[in-house]
Structure 1
Amino acid sequence: MVDTKTAVGQPERLQLLRVLGPAHIWALGVGIVLVGEYMGWNFAVGKGGMIAGLIACWVAGLLYTCVAMIDSEVTSTVAAAGGQYAQAKHIVGPLMAFNVGLFLVMAYTMLEAANAITIGFLLDTVAGMQGHTGLHQQPFIVLCVMFLAWLNYRGVLATLTFNLVITAVAFMAIIALFLSVQFGVSSVPLDFSAVTTDPMPYGWIGILASLHFGLWYYLGIEGTCQAAEEVRSPARSLPYGTMAGIMTLLIAATMTWYVCSGLIPWEYLGQAGTPLFDAARVTGNRGLMVLLFIGTMFSTLASANGCINDASRAWFSMGRDRYLPIWFGAVHPVYRTPYRSIIFLVPIALIFALGAPLDQVVTFSILSGLLGYTFMTFNMVMFRRKWPLDTIKRGYVHPMHPLPTIVLLILCATAYVAVFLGYGTQLIAMVSFYIIASLWFHFRRYRFVRRGDQFTMPWPRPEGY
């Protein structure tokens, strides 16, 4: 859509295209997250053992179910690019919006870097299996990020249609491995003896510590909100796509834990780089190995692809609203994509992908996500208080309010403790970074923000104002 009321001498203001449906939202949410079943989650097993890994899986699943319900209600009502950033802008205020925008960009950019690292590691592993050792991973990491950035540059419909196909293949690969093992295809039987002989090797503190990486099963499902301005029917597509996505991930996460814990000793599983692919190798079935290699590749590509989409939308929205230089708020005249934001974030992702270890990158992404989830608890309470149910039309109303908000806040607080146990330095560094960024925004950038242009929703005056 083109705004014809432009000032003389200024370029026409282009907007993003509304071309997506519920399946694309599902593909965006699950595509970003499904890589968490293929790598990263298993570090939770290393922290506390098999039972700790399962508890972390389900507790994190409860946390993200609350996230999905809250996001579905607010974003189906605040249907604007930027997701949680747009929510904060309308409901809380500019400083919170700026921080939430940074949370989103950092979480997705770090996740994108982790995906690129995994692709390089997987290719190196497969090359080693064929007798070709010493593969240089860096060119493949760069090629992956550059290709997906180009795909995002060319258009959102093609980007998320690509995600839909490869995400479906990666999800079916998990199901195929689960069923194959259940019906005796594996040459190695499932063995859960460690559950009875040594169920909690590090006690309850191990279970708490494991929650840190349990979040990796689902991290990024909230990214469905970033497409709010590009769906044909936000009130229908966003809730359906998001809730279907979290149900898909809960099933995939449980099956992943079951197969990997049954085939791989927990001591090795807790440090494996590609646990599902390793589980397929243990079966001795070449067909399963090929399938899970493809599934791992597709899941990492889908995740990195979705991360570029989401991070660029958040950055674009902040530029459009002058929270960042307005140069970032440009839309491509042909492809209708936030092309400058896409290009700008590519080198940032590559710096971390080429220069940081996987567990550190994963931790940075998780911490940024946790800060965003903590914001959602206060945001939801303020949203219901300012605009009660009968004052504005909502696309979805999540049940049992405020119980999901309370549960989410408690689980977030628990997760902070879990992260601090193993990565306290990173936690302090990330919080310090956001404090410094907030000071920069308050003293240097806030004067460029046009407060009158921030509130774009046709809502009545808030209750009490």
Structure 2
Amino acid sequence: MSQQHVRQPSASPQPGALRPTLNAWHLWGLAVGLVISGEYFGWSYGWASAGTLGFLITSALVATMYTTFIFSFTELTTAIPHAGGPFAYAARAFGPTGGFVAGYATLVEFVFAPPAIALAIGAYLQVQFPALDAKLLAVGAYAVFMTLNILGVRTAATFELFVTVLAIFELLVFMGVVAPGFSAARFAAHGWAGQHEFSAAAIPGMFAAIPFAIWFFLAIEGVAMAAEEARDPRRTLPIAYIAGIVTLLLLALGVMVFAGGVGDWRQLSNINDPLPQAMKAVVGASSGWLHMLVWIGLFGLVASFHGIILGYSRQIFALAREGYLPAGLATIHPRFGTPWVAVLAGGAVGIAAIFSDEWVTLGGQTLTANIVTMAVLGAIVMYIVSMASLFALRRREPQLPRPFPALGYPVVPAIALGLAVVCLLTMVYFNPLVSALFAALMAVAYGYFRLTAVQRAAVALARPGLAGPG
């Protein structure tokens, strides 16, 4: 089958297309905002198995994977600016089945990350309102931010930029306030999986902590799903990605080190609000600084929650537009120009996950930890398929315009691919039940994929889009 070019966004969008309205600042705000909740919660679960020092090494390994991945991924996002993101790249490289694998994995990542963040929003609000139910607060967050996403992408992205800047400011305030109480000795105490000194017994815990180190950076690749809504994506997307990963690396290191050195870090390793609790150890429960952290700190959670809703809706929209999901999910609101049905559909799955208390029994982890693990599994599979797509497209389409070629090709993409494979194998080993659930859902999705081949063929004939090897 001959290769066809992916649809490119235009200034005057056609029916079924999204409107290009986002500038580089919007995209940077989205890149950081998608991820910044990972600095507020989730990562501290890694301390439970690896200790502070062990988790520091795990985080450095994961940071290397993300840095090499982003400097490679930008080649794909600028060469193929498409709302489907990884799904579009894999379909171009490997055909419909490749598109299915990448699309399923990305969908799991972006649909399962928001309920974990919503639960953290509920936990933060409970600090101020102990009588309220965290799960009901999480559902309320879904209602508010699904509505905002439906009202328009530029409105949503401008709000995202605003709350992201506030969230960064608050993390800097946190570091400044707790700095006087920081002690390197407290950070290092029991730092090797509960032991004072490093031994071989600490290594399994460091590998088991990989999902929570990934949580520091999870979803930054979601900027690719705004590619059709970006102005001059070949220029603005690389700026957003590179500035975003640098911002997140610095914030992750600062938050992790300062939070771990202000008291007994073991008290923070299995909770959804480690930063308020770390600050409480320094300034006391009645301090105005603590209340400010809770209220302004919500902006970090909101930034990621809101941004990932934007990401999952575009992924659902793109898959439905190409016939991989029911066509109704690609419906665009006639007034706001947003994929409103996709926004609501992803939210319904997330809310169901919030109330799936039986997940707590999987592997003996908390509900939040299992949702995080599920989202991370999707992300890692998507990273592997994306890097494989990069290598395949270099070989099969050497003439494809690449405005921002992968730096250090082929070494840098190979490092990203190799580390992603290590992360996946490790996660499956340490999380067999959640991994089995991930695989079972993929099998069900693949059954639907096989049953709808005629539907996809009809879509391809009606409006040629992605193409790949037959």
Q: TM-score, normalised by structure 2?
A: 0.88
How far is 1:359 from its partner?
0.9
> How many pairs are equivalent?
443
Paired position in structure 1 for 2:20: 18
Amino acid at match of 2:413: T
Amino acid at match of 2:372: V
Paired position in structure 2 for 1:293: 294
Partners in 1 of 2:62 and 2:28 — Cα distance? Answer: 19
Paired position in structure 1 for 2:111: 109
Partners in 1 of 2:427 and 2:400 — Cα distance? Answer: 39
Paired position in structure 1 for 2:315: 314
Q: Which moved more, 1:58-67 or 1:188-197?
A: 188-197
Paired position in structure 2 for 1:158: 155
The 8 Å contact of residues 28 and 164 in structure 1, kept in 2 or not, is answered as: yes
How far is 1:222 from its partner?
0.5
Paired position in structure 1 for 2:134: 137
Paired position in structure 2 for 1:372: 382
Paired position in structure 2 for 1:278: 277
Secondary structure (helix, strand or coil) at the match of 1:363 reads: helix
Distance 1:261 1:323, change over 3 A: same
Structure 2 gaps, min length 5: 1-8, 196-200, 358-366
Secondary structure (helix, strand or coil) at the match of 1:228 reads: helix
The 8 Å contact of residues 319 and 328 in structure 1, kept in 2 or not, is answered as: yes
Matched, 1:445 2:458: no
Partners in 1 of 2:136 and 2:386 — Cα distance? Answer: 38
Q: Which moved more, 1:445-454 or 1:62-71?
A: 445-454
Amino acid at match of 1:195: A
The 8 Å contact of residues 171 and 295 in structure 1, kept in 2 or not, is answered as: no
Partners in 2 of 1:73 and 1:117 — Cα distance? Answer: 35
Partners in 2 of 1:276 and 1:328 — Cα distance? Answer: 38
Q: 2:89 aligns with which of 87, 90, 94?
A: 87
The 8 Å contact of residues 37 and 301 in structure 2, kept in 1 or not, is answered as: yes
The 8 Å contact of residues 122 and 134 in structure 2, kept in 1 or not, is answered as: yes
Matched, 1:403 2:403: no
Q: Which moved more, 1:356-365 or 1:289-298?
A: 289-298
CA deviation digits over 1:185-236, x for unaligned, max 9?
Answer: xxx3424345266545351122222222111000000101000000011101
Which residues in structure 2 correspond to 1:4-403 (within 5 Å)?
13-128=15-130, 134-182=131-179, 184=180, 188-193=181-186, 195=188, 198-200=191-193, 201=195, 202-284=201-283, 286-356=287-357, 357-388=367-398, 391-403=399-411
Structure 1 gaps, min length 5: 6-11, 129-133
The 8 Å contact of residues 316 and 328 in structure 1, kept in 2 or not, is answered as: yes
Secondary structure (helix, strand or coil) at the match of 1:37 reads: helix
Paired position in structure 2 for 1:9: none
How far is 1:170 from its partner?
0.8
RMSD: 2.4
Paired position in structure 1 for 2:5: none
Q: TM-score, normalised by structure 1?
A: 0.89
The 8 Å contact of residues 111 and 365 in structure 1, kept in 2 or not, is answered as: yes
How far is 1:370 from its partner?
1.0
How far is 1:41 from its partner?
0.5
Q: Which moved more, 1:148-157 or 1:408-417?
A: 408-417
Amino acid at match of 1:261: G
Percent identity (aligned): 24
Structure 1: 4+ residue segments shifted above 6 A: 1-5
Partners in 1 of 2:120 and 2:133 — Cα distance? Answer: 13
Partners in 2 of 1:25 and 1:3 — Cα distance? Answer: 18
Matched, 1:422 2:415: no
